[in-house]
Structure 1
Amino acid sequence: MTSKKRIIFITMTIMIISLLSGCSNKAMNKIYDDNSKIASAYDTFGLSHSKETIEPGIYKARFKLSGSGTIWTYESDSDIDLKVPYILSVKSGKAKIVLISPDNTVVTLVENTNKATMNETTSFTVPIKKGNNRIKIVGCEKADIDIELHIEQGTFKEINEKIDSLPN
């Protein structure tokens, strides 16, 4: 009888863990299309297999991401357009790079989906507004992302430095 109870206990534990991890991923995936959560001053994400490097004016990373994380901030004295060379490859899931302007407007700068690989650097224009501007990476379905951004202004930061939190 003890053996039977042990098997039931182990089975129930595995089921509960599977349900909880599945709910967590679904909550993180919902962020992808929710500009109010993306624009939040707080980052909400699940991150794994993370390798990020920051050099002056350059951010490079490879990770799996569900949710959103801030990688760049810039306090601007005026409205300007920045040309940003980048690479964004997505091996699975989907990912996008977004700008959050001082009024919390979310602008999608580039979006790639499953198996969109880029080996060449291309560029996009970032419409910077006067005030605090942020760039976030947003991933869905544990997006397997390779990213590289080149921006001389502002400050890059690693997503890895932040504490994971769950959405309200």
Structure 2
Amino acid sequence: MEDDYSSYNLTNFSGNQSENTVSGSAEKLEGMDTIWELDAEEPEEVNISYSLMVTSGKAKLVYVDPEGTVSTLLECSAGEDAGQSASETIEVREGENRIRLVGAEGTGLEYEFTADKGDVEAFGD
């Protein structure tokens, strides 16, 4: 079963996209949206880097494989672990692979995401 559902509420959102990088910030974000996707013809490696800074609430980046299995890449909450960043190589499988940004109710955040393959999309596009 494929889930292309994206639902969100945004307050004072600004986003930027250039080539293979997407970034943005929101005073309040609630919900989720896809910020990267790759329809792979065969299994391959993708180099990604990301950063997330949460000023209120909590947010996470999740990877969704072609079967719909969700894996958390990064999770941040306001306070102690408010800001995190990483670079890694992920193994994508044949089919539609996605990364989504997910925010709990009233989450204030800044994020940046880069991938060397696939399509990046600004949140809310």
TM range (shorter): 0.7 to 0.9
Q: CA deviation at 1:143?
A: 1.1
> Are 2:13 and 1:50 aligned?
yes
CA RMSD of aligned residues (A): 1.8
**Match in the other structure for 2:76:** 112
What is the rounded CA distance, in whole Å, between the counterparts of 1:144 and 1:91 in structure 2?
5
**Match in the other structure for 1:126:** 90
**Greater strand percent: which structure?**
2
Gapped regions of structure 2 (runs ≥ 5): none
Gapped regions of structure 1 (runs ≥ 5): 1-35, 162-168
SS at match of 2:124: helix
What is the rounded CA distance, in whole Å, between the counterparts of 1:124 and 1:96 in structure 2?
16
> Are 2:60 and 1:96 aligned?
yes
What is the rounded CA distance, in whole Å, between the counterparts of 1:156 and 1:84 in structure 2?
11
Q: Aligned residues, how many? A: 122
Structure 1 outlier segments of 4+, above 6 Å: none
Q: CA deviation at 1:80?
A: 2.5
What is the rounded CA distance, in whole Å, between the counterparts of 1:158 and 1:112 in structure 2?
20
**Match in the other structure for 1:143:** 107
Question: C-alpha deviations, 1:67-118, integer Å up to 9, x for none?
Answer: 1111111111222332312111111100000111111111111111113124
**Greater helix percent: which structure?**
1
Percent identity, aligned pairs only, is: 29
